[in-house]
Amino acid sequence: EKRHYFAVDSYKVTNHQNQQKDPKMESDFVVHQIEVLFESGSFRERPNQLVGSVLTDELEKRKMAFDEKFESAFGLQAKGFTSSQIKFAMAALSNMLGGMGYFFGQSVVQSVYNEHPVLYPEGPLFTAVPSRSFFPRGFLWDEGFHQLLISKWDTQLTQEVIAHWLDLINVEGWIPREQILDDEARSKVPSEFIVQHNENANPPTLFLALQELLEQLDAQPELSSSQTMLPFLKRLYPRLQIWFEWFNTTQAGPLANSYRWRGRDKDTNLFLNPKTLTSGLDDYPRASHPSADERHVDLYCWMTLASGIMANLARILGEPHQVYENTHRTLSNNDLLNKLHWSENLHAFSDYGNHTQAVSLLQEKVFVPPGQPRQQFPVTRWVRSVRKAPKLQYVNALGYVSLFPFLLQILAPDSPKIEHILRDIQDPERLWTPYGLRSLSRSDPIYMKRNTEHDAPYWRGPIWININYLAVRALHHYGSIEGPYKEKAAILYQELRTNIINNVYKQYMETGYIWEQYNDSTGRGQGSHPFTGWSALTVLIMAEEY
C-alpha cells in the first residue's frame, strides 16, 4: 500500500566540520500517521471494518446525530445563539460527560464506634466529577448539580449515577461526602481531607436531580424513559427514606424544626471564621464560635426541599406519605422560617449562633531574649484575635446563605421578605456584579479576607455558577407566577441570565477554559480549570431549562 510520510522541515548535511550550521536547516522530525484497529470478537456481523473512509463516514453520522440531539434538548439555535456560543455549550456538556468515571475502592471513615479510622466496605461508584484533572473523584453535593444537566441529555444515565451514590449508604443512612476510594486517589488529596466522619453531612442536592426526574415523569408519562422510571424509583425509595431520616435526626438543631451542620472546624485559634466544609460553602462566614446552639438557614431550606420531594415521591409510589407531608407543611410555613432565621437588624435571613464580628488575624508575638538567635524560637503564626466576646445572636453576614429561602423557592410569592432579597441581589455594593452574583457582600467585614495565613478567600466574594444557577432559576420562578414582585423578578432574571452567559462564554473564548469560580471585580476565571462540573450549568441557563 502507499504510505504517506510528512517531513517537517528538511535536513541538510554540512560539507565541512568547521562550517557554521544553520539550525533552521537541521530537523530530523518526521510525522507518520498510522491507524490501529481493535475490534471485539463479538462484532462478527459488521459489514465493514471501522478504518479509513468507513470510520470517517461513521464519525460524521455520529457528529450530526449529536448536533441534532443537542438542539432538540437545549434549543440554543432556536433561541438565536451564535454558532460559536453553541460550540461553547456543546464543549461544556461534552466535557462533563467525558469526565464521568467508574471508581472502585474503600473510603477511610472515622466513626463514633471506632477509636481510629477504618476502611469502609469496598464498592463501586459511577459518577461525574467537578474537574477531570484537579478533582477526579465524586463529591456528594456537586453531583446533584451535575445531574441537573446530564438528566436533560440522558435520563437513564442520571438514574445510574443516583443509584450508585445511594448504594454507598450505610445502615444508619449516611453517605460519605467525598469519595476518595483508593491509594491512587488518596495520593492526590491533602491528609486532613481524606478521613470521612460519619456524623458529617453534605447538602442533599441529589433531591434536585430527583425533582427533575419526577417533573419529567409527570410531564411525559408516555415516554419509554418514563416507563422505566417507576420501577427505578421503587428500588430507590427505601434508601431515600433512611437517608432523609439520617439528616432529620443527626443534623437536628437546638430548637424544634431547626437544623445544624455538624463537623465545623474546632480550632478557633487559627481560623478567622472556622470553616463548615460539610455545608459545601467551606469558608463562608458562620457563627464565629462554633457551638451546639447554632441554627443554619441553608440546611433548613435543604430539608424543606427534601421533605416536599419525599412526600411527592411517596404519593406517586402509593406509599404512606403523611409524615413527609406534615414535615414539609411545617417547614414551608414562612412564619416559622422567619422566627428561626430572619434578622431584623440585617433585614435578611441569617444563621444564628455564638458570634462576634470583632475578630481579626494577627501575627503572634514571640519573645526572643536579648542575644539569643531568632532561629531557635518558633516561627510566628497568624492567629485569631477576638476583641469583643461573642454572644448568641444572628450572624450578620449577607451573601449566598441569606438567599437560600429564595433560591430553593420556599418563600410564598407574596412574602414581603422577597422585596429585601431582590434589593440585596441588585445592589452593586452587596451582591450584584456585571458577571453574576458574588458569594459575600462587599460591605461584609470578612469580604475577601483570608481565613488563615495559608487559606485564600474561597466563598467570600468570588462568583460561583451553581448558586447563580439557583438564583436565575428562582428569579424565573417568581417572575412567572402572580405576586407583587413578579415584574421586578422578571427584569432581574433577564439581566442576571445575560451577565452570567456573557462572562462565562467570554472567559472560555479568551482562555479555552470553563472555571471553578469567577472574580467578582473583573469577571476573570479563577481557581481550578478546566472545571466542567457545576460551572457547565451555564448550558441550562442558556437553554432556560429550570
Report the catalytic residues.
282, 516
Q: Are 393 and 355 in contact (CB under 8 A)?
A: yes
Q: Which helix (H) or strand (E) holds 340?
A: helix 334-341
Cell 557554521, residue?
20
Q: Which residues contact 337 (CB under 8 A, 6 or more apart)?
A: 300, 331, 349, 405, 410, 411
Burial class (CB in 10 A: 0-12, 13-18, 19+), 240: buried
* 152 vs 142: CA distance, rounded Å: 17
Partners of 30 in the β-ladder = 7
Burial class (CB in 10 A: 0-12, 13-18, 19+), 213: buried
DSSP state of 384: E
* 431 vs 437: CA distance, rounded Å: 5
What is the three-class DSSP state of 109? strand
DSSP state of 24: G
Burial class (CB in 10 A: 0-12, 13-18, 19+), 304: buried
* 322 vs 446: CA distance, rounded Å: 43
User: Helices 400-407 and 297-317, interaxial angle, to 10°?
Assistant: 20
151-163: string of b/e by CB count within 10 Å (b at 16+)?
bbbebebbbebbe
DSSP state of 537: G
What is the three-class DSSP state of 478? helix
